[in-house]
A and B are shown apart, each in its own frame.
Chain A
């Protein structure tokens, strides 16, 4: 029994409460350089710095979130993702993370292309619009679906592009990017069978 294990569990369920973060924290190599797009209050970067010696940078649009991130010692830039990526030189990072934000960006394809210009690897986590609950909600109500993952009214939703596991695979193939690893999650459980129907969240590790 090591001390590390329960800490990791706490990271997933208590500290951050997000299963995609758990996957990302496993993917990221120790002592690497990481850019987190839409990093919020910098919790993931702080964790990666403390536990994996990662050199982290973040981009976040919300001023109050940037303030809290800087307070915890994380180097975060206040700005939007599109302009946030443009300034960096090619291959400046080992990993560029986009966690639950792709569906909120104006030009997701450009964002993905620029992620892989700036980083050697891209890590993309997104809520799967193909999940059975979404399909069921739409089928039964005849309205824009509202589920646990997509709880917003259509007119208030930050999600402006809805994509499924299949859609993302297609986008990656369109630009000849390579999927290095893919993870499908339902709650905190991993899904292997019928991911497009059963995964609530998908996490992809991609490269050029």
Chain B
């Protein structure tokens, strides 16, 4: 499969906060081919720490994309049939304009002078790209977690440009618990002296704080059961406790490893801005009810939650589906059984792929 990595620059983007970013760049990849009628495009939306590299092998890094098990020939998002697009989100650190980008007004990185962004802003930038690609209407928008929030936002903000929306393991608004975990991550970063009020570019980045933030994140992405299965109380490379504070348990080793890995690929300020955007996300904002918020949506919906996902629990998906049904929207919903917690949508994808494949096929048939 051919992976096309590109960047497009737009003159400016007006944000929900009232601020304007000028110019703004968006990095994206595409897989498969756009058909003559331009009716087969699917925008895939990444979760918090993802990037535009959703599928195939990156010619740069040699690594598979974050949803490579879902996107490709014959897979859930079948690139023999569909033209799949994935962008790096606004505020990100993988090619799209974010706090690490150079502010043309100062010639220095934006750092904390970067404007606070929202999920709505991310989607607005994506819509500019889709227009730029000459695509009038997307067959589907889909993503898990924060990607699911964008899929919902698309259906509400651009109702006439989305045929179907597939929000997975997500919510219509962040709960107190979800905000709380994000705040712990942010405080870990900001407590690291290397953070230096966000001005660490060209210097030592706040690696310790960012690693701790990622460790907390990883715990929330797994389930009690998957951690028990994966690590139990097994010790790491020893038969007895060390009676010190070096690594004793496998789980400690794993979290430290994932934390340090993350530091090498993610910008701490992006962590702050993107988690803030997730916390602000609330489809009911300024509206009397969720059903009212979804009034504008015309898309078909496929909503999926996972039984062991305690970060974005099933009740949040059910709430979303109930509101959609109150609007008499076309919605299919299923809770898939998996032990992998919130990560299920990334790692336990066989049934999810079957759902998506069938749902897309029947949607595509309707627009033909």
Contacts and interface: CB of A to CB of B under 8 A. Distances in A.
Nearest to B330: A75
B136 interface: no
Given A87-B322, A89-B328, A92-B328, A63 B334 contact: yes
A74 B359 CA distance: 8
Interface in A57-77: 57, 63, 66-67, 69-77
A63 B335 contact: yes
A152 B45 CA distance: 49
Contact of A70 (B321, B322, B328, B334): B334
Contact of B325 (A55, A63, A66, A87): A87
A65 to B, nearest CB: 10
Interface in B25-77: none
Interface string B275-287: 0000000000000
A107 interface: no
Given A75-B330, A88-B328, A89-B326, A70 B336 contact: no
A71 B322 contact: no
Contacts of B334: 63, 66-67, 70, 76, 78
Given A63-B337, A70-B302, A87-B326, A75 B332 contact: yes
Contacts of A78: 333-335
Interface residues of A, number: 20
B368 interface: no
Contacts of A88: 325-326, 328
A74 B354 contact: no
B75 to A, nearest CB: 15
A204 B73 CA distance: 47
A67 B332 CA distance: 10
Contacts of B328: 88-89, 92
Given A67-B351, A70-B302, A77 B358 contact: no
B256 interface: no
Nearest to B302: A70
Nearest to A73: B362
B331 A70 contact: no
A63 B336 contact: yes
User: Which of B322, B325, B335, B365 has the largest count of A CB atoms less than 10 A from its CB?
Assistant: B325
A73 B359 contact: yes
B191 interface: no
A87 B337 CA distance: 24
A73 B358 contact: yes
B142 to A, nearest CB: 14
Q: For A66, A75, A88, which residue has the most chain B Cβ atoms within 10 angstroms?
A: A75
B330 A71 contact: no
Contact of B361 (A57, A69, A73, A79): A73
B154 to A, nearest CB: 19
Contacts of B351: 67
Contact of B354 (A71, A77, A92): A71
Interface in B221-248: none
Contacts of A89: 326-328
B169 to A, nearest CB: 15
Contact of A57 (B322, B330, B355, B357): B330
Contact of A75 (B318, B331, B365): B331
B124 interface: no
A71 B332 contact: no
B325 A71 contact: no
A88 B326 CA distance: 5
Interface in A28-60: 55, 57
Interface of B: 300, 302, 318, 321-322, 325-328, 330-337, 351, 354-355, 357-359, 361-363, 365
Nearest 10 pairs between A and B by C-beta?
A73-B362, A71-B358, A87-B325, A75-B332, A66-B334, A92-B328, A87-B322, A77-B333, A78-B334, A70-B332
22 contacts: A57-B330, A63-B337, A66-B332, A66-B333, A66-B334, A67-B334, A67-B336, A70-B302, A70-B359, A71-B354, A71-B357, A73-B361, A73-B362, A73-B363, A75-B300, A75-B330, A75-B331, A77-B331, A77-B332, A87-B326, A88-B328, A89-B328
Interface of A: 55, 57, 63, 66-67, 69-79, 87-89, 92
